[in-house]
Amino acid sequence: MVTVEARHLRLFYHDTVAIDDIDLTIEEGRILGIIGPNGAGKTSLFNAMLGFVPHEGTLSVLGLNPWTERNRLMGEVTFVSDVAVLPRWAKVSQALDYVAGVHPRFNRAVVDAFLEKTTIRREAKVRELSKGMVTQLHLALMMAIDSKLLVLDEPTLGLDLIYRKAFYDALLGDYLDTKRTILVATHQVEEIQNILTDFVFLDRGRVVLSASMAEFENRFAEVLAAPGQIGAARRLNPLSEKTVLGRSVFLFDGISQEKLAALGEVRTPGLADLFLSLMEHAEDKKA
């Protein structure tokens, strides 16, 4: 079953093109990373998917048109933005009681399990919490809602490394238990690489690369070249070349493992390194 289907999707803000002719298919039960720099169109893509703004082209989310059937859609979606907005006057316990009272799919046990890993006191008011604690509380509330589609836009901004890891571990555990579809946009690519099933690279509103993690691992490779193999590596037209601790490191697309093994140590690149290389490659072609 397909969760999101977009064809020739375009989105404008006045005269600015935010999404430029995107085709995208997201299957049910996948964890998709939306990766790109500021201004790439990540939030704009989410805004179109959630029916916050009108769009051109065709777009279906959970079988619904987000713009014309937004009320029905939002009953099946949980959205976590990069800004946690909670009533500052409310106690933590009141926030929990409120969400439990208004949302039929709220699971109190899940939110309690999240908050047990924090120092947030139930009797504390939201205005007394640090920015990081407010983010933790917001994430706990949203993750406790059982929905078919979870959309996360920079969900861990302002959190320290330990809680970011705990959050993504919990997110993966929840995914394995429920098989919901998860879309996550973040700058902290290295932290989510190991939980993704698929990814999309965005730049200036266009899809640069869309692939599964299995395709990524089979197609792309990084080689720490042996000193005598640098020339041979360059003749294979790598996507990029960089120097790390005095050694030449090459990034390749679609070269067989057998050929690469003769050049030096072969390893899987990071998604962030691949994205930067593709962006630099595109700029070189324009020049």
Q: Is residue 53 part of a domain?
A: yes
Three-class SS state of 233: helix
Same domain, 24 and 91: yes
Same domain, 105 and 21: yes
Whether 251 and 277 have beta carbons less than 8 Å apart is answered as: yes
Q: Is residue 182 part of a domain?
A: yes
Q: What is the pLDDT of residues 17-31, one digit of tens each?
A: 999 999 999 999 999
Calculate mean pLDDT across residues 198-210: 93
Whether 45 and 53 have beta carbons less than 8 Å apart is answered as: no
pLDDT of 34 above 90: yes
Q: What is the pLDDT of residues 79-111, one digit of tens each?
A: 988 777 889 999 999 999 999 998 888 999 888
Q: Which domain holds residue 167?
A: 2-204
Give the mean pLDDT of the chain: 90
Same domain, 138 and 280: no
Q: Based on the structure, what is the number of domains in the chain?
A: 2
Same domain, 190 and 62: yes
Give the CATH number, domain containing residue 160. 3.40.50.300
Q: Is residue 210 part of a domain?
A: no
Whether 32 and 197 have beta carbons less than 8 Å apart is answered as: yes
Confidence of residue 287 (pLDDT cuts 50, 70, 90): very low
Same domain, 131 and 262: no
Q: What is the pLDDT of residues 115-145, one digit of tens each?
A: 888 899 999 999 999 888 898 899 889 888 8
Confidence of residue 278 (pLDDT cuts 50, 70, 90): confident
Same domain, 164 and 224: no
Q: Is residue 139 part of a domain?
A: yes
269: its two tokens: 């690149």
Please tell me the distance from the alpha carbon of residue 61 to that of residue 1, in angstroms, as a whole number. 11
Query: Which pTM was predicted?
Result: 0.89
Placement of tokens 């555990």 in the chain: 173
Higher pLDDT, 68 or 281: 68
Placement of tokens 């006057």 in the chain: 89
Please tell me the distance from the alpha carbon of residue 37 to that of residue 68, in angstroms, as a whole number. 30
Q: What is the pLDDT of residue 1?
A: 87
pLDDT of 270 above 60: yes
Three-class SS state of 183: strand
180: its two tokens: 């919901």
Same domain, 28 and 138: yes
Q: Is residue 209 part of a domain?
A: no
Same domain, 107 and 223: no
Cβ neighbours of residue 4 closer than 8 Å, sequence gap 6 or more: 24, 25, 26, 49, 59, 60, 61, 181, 183
pLDDT of 279 above 90: no
Same domain, 97 and 126: yes
